[in-house]
Amino acid sequence: MHIEQWRWNHIDRVWNKLPAVVTPKRITAIGQVIAGAHNLCWVSMNPSAANSEIALTDDLDGLGATVFDMFHATRDHMHMVLTPPMPFTTGIYVKTLTNFTSLIFGYV
């Protein structure tokens, strides 16, 4: 399934379609999101409890350095749009996943 991405242009007061089609993928455990070079556009987070944490690496096995991490103190759902999208050259790998029901990644 592909989702078209739209962004509000506050100057012209219109919705603009972004040039790329974003692919969503749901993750419920530590592991590979997608292999290969991709740009991460957004992450939707569904914590199962407070004090949740995620860490991402740019590799295929999670042994590389953490390139993105986040600690979330509450159990509230959060949708984070990365502007500009975060580039990954080798692959997107979830190294740490604590107190989350699922993560949904949107990548190009």
* Residue-wise pLDDT tens digits, 2-36: 667 677 777 788 887 776 778 899 999 999 999 99
Among 40, 54, 37, residue whose Cα is nearest residue 100: 54
User: What pLDDT score does 3 carry?
Assistant: 64
Total domains in the chain come to 1
Give the predicted TM-score (pTM) of the model: 0.80
Domain of 96, in residue numbers:
22-107
Q: What is the CATH number of the domain that holds 65?
A: 2.60.120
Bridge partners of residue 3, in order along the sequence: 22
Residue 72 within any structural domain of the chain:
yes
> Which residue in 41, 4, 30, 34 sits closest to 19, CA to CA?
4
